[in-house]
Amino acid sequence: MQIHRYERWWLIFGLAMLVFFLALIGFAAFADNINPPTGMQQVDPTKVSETPPFDKPGLRKLADGSYEAYYVAEVFEFIPRELTIPVGSKVTFYVTSADVVHGFFIPDTTINMMAIPGWVNQETHTFTRPGEYLLICHEYCGIDHQDMFGKIEVR
């Protein structure tokens, strides 16, 4: 089979790009530990406020320096709105929505997920730097989406 020279270059270039980006994804996943949220737990979105542990959202201590944070997202707020975390803590966030799809994003951390009605998403982050972190909804969810935010104080 005869392949034109330019066509061969393009094939090699395309394959090299494919290998390069696959390697990049592999590096991010295994070296930097950046992975999509993996929560598979389900919850009835119409009964979130009655279903434990989401009936009492907030921070739970597991051990010294290890916490779980339960969050409910609904139009147009996060419950709890504010949270205080001791510096150096490893926190696993569990998030669900009581109505529509919301975002759950904490800039300067690895926490970036969706709050999906019916599902519980989870991600873990260790807060090594003290300060005030913003929690924002980064998925358009309605007329007051831009006012949907929370605050996390690390000290």
Closest approach of Cβ 77 to ligand CUA, in Å? 8
User: 7 in helix, strand or coil?
Assistant: helix
By beta-carbon proximity to ligand CUA, the closer residue of 102 and 125 is 102
Query: DSSP of 71-118, one letter per residue?
Result: EEEETTEEESSEEEE-TT-EEEEEEEESSS-EEEE-TTSS-EEEE-BT
75: nearest Cα among 147, 134, 154, 24? 147
Closest approach of Cβ 117 to ligand CUA, in Å? 12
By beta-carbon proximity to ligand CUA, the closer residue of 37 and 103 is 103
Q: DSSP code of 62?
A: E
Closest approach of Cβ 40 to ligand CUA, in Å? 22
Q: Which residues bind ligand CUA (CB under 6 A)?
A: 76, 102-103, 137, 139-141, 145, 148
Closest approach of Cβ 139 to ligand CUA, in Å? 5
By beta-carbon proximity to ligand CUA, the closer residue of 85 and 135 is 135
